[in-house]
């Protein structure tokens, strides 16, 4: 059974803290994604990666960075957390080169910045 | 990048067929149309994907007209457990790079 796991389901951080959200997939997928989800706005793409050490900005990359040192792991970093980054963060992965756009999602991390 | 437009919410009753239409006027030649389902406190789950005409699987059917500027997800005989948010998105070919999720359609199935 395919699996995408995220390091925490719930996280509370203070303004200005550095925050790491980690995502691990066990499907040997090349492509990985980080989204944030806010009420009424659906999912918005923050960053994606199509290979180790490769990354591309999504629609809302400001205030975020990412790291992909190993194929199975994709980390989202908030260098200095702010209250407007309070959100649900979702990681996903997909096999490159296939006809399907079936992304596999993790359970999400609900981050609260106070 | 093609954006999508869906109804914000829909209500239905158990046993009915539900059709959710999505508009994607700027769809590109190599874009696929994909639908996801999301339950509260879970990540979205893939339902179905198509490029043109009709696609059917064990969960749903997807109807795409010849101009591909819209698509309709059809859920046969819904149950209470089909209450969820449904997302329509278009993506460039395989690999799903830079996919765009809209706000989704909140379907509420009543007994």
Question: CB–CB of B98 and A48 under 8 A?
Answer: yes
- State which residues form the domain around B75: 9-110
Residue B61: Cβ within 10 Å count: 17
B91 CB neighbours in chain A (<8 A) are: 101
- The CATH number that applies at residue B79 is 2.60.40.10
Q: Is residue B1 part of a domain?
A: no
User: Cα dist. B85→B63, B88, B108, B109 in Å?
Assistant: 19, 10, 9, 11
Q: Is residue B99 part of a domain?
A: yes
CA triple B84-B90-B95, angle to 5 deg: 105
Residues found in chain A: 114
- Checking if the pLDDT of B100 tops 80, the result is no
Q: Which domains does chain A have, with CATH numbers?
A: 4-113 (2.60.40.10)
- Kindly calculate the radius of gyration of chain A based on its CA atoms and give it in whole angstroms: 13
How many structural domains are present in chain B? 1
CA pair distance A95, A20, nearest whole angstrom:
24
pLDDT (tens digit, 0 to 9) for every residue of chain A, 114 residues total?
A: 668 999 999 999 999 999 999 999 998 988 999 999 998 788 899 999 988 999 999 889 999 999 999 999 999 999 999 999 999 999 999 877 666 778 899 999 999 999
Q: Is residue B18 part of a domain?
A: yes
Residue B5: name the closest of B23, B26, B29 by CA: B23
CA pair distance B65, B52, nearest whole angstrom:
7
Give the distance from residue A99's alpha carbon to the nearest chain B alpha carbon, in angstroms. Answer: 5
Give the one of B34, B44, B94 whose C-beta lies nearest to A97's C-beta.
B94
Q: What is the pLDDT of residues A44-75, one digit of tens each?
A: 999 999 889 999 998 899 999 999 999 999 99
Residue, of B29 and A66, whose pLDDT is higher: A66
- Checking if the pLDDT of B97 tops 70, the result is no
List A70's β-bridge partners, or say none: A73
């Amino acid at each position: 059974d395919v699996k995408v796991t995220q390091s925490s389901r719930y996280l509370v951080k203070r303004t200005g803290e550095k925050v790491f959200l980690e995502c691990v997939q066990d499907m040997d997928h090349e492509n990985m994604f980080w989204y944030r989800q806010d009420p009424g706005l659906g999912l918005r793409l923050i960053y994606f990666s199509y290979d180790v050490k490769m990354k591309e900005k999504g629609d809302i990359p400001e205030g975020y960075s990412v790291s992909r040192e190993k194929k199975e792991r994709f980390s989202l970093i908030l260098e200095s957390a702010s209250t407007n980054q309070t959100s649900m963060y979702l990681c996903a992965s997909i096999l490159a080169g296939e006809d399907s756009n079936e992304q596999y999602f993790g359970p999400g991390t609900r981050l609260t910045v106070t | 990048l093609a954006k999508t437009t869906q109804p914000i919410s829909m209500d239905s009753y158990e046993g009915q067929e539900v059709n959710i239409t999505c508009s994607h006027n700027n769809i590109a030649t190599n874009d696929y149309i994909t639908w996801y389902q999301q339950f509260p406190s879970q990540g979205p789950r893939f339902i179905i994907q198509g490029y043109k005409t009709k696609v059917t699987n064990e969960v749903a059917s997807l109807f795409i007209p010849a101009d591909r500027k819209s698509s309709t997800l059809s859920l046969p005989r819904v149950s209470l457990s089909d209450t969820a948010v449904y997302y329509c998105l278009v993506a460039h070919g395989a690999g799903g790079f830079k996919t765009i999720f809209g706000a989704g359609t909140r379907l509420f199935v009543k007994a």
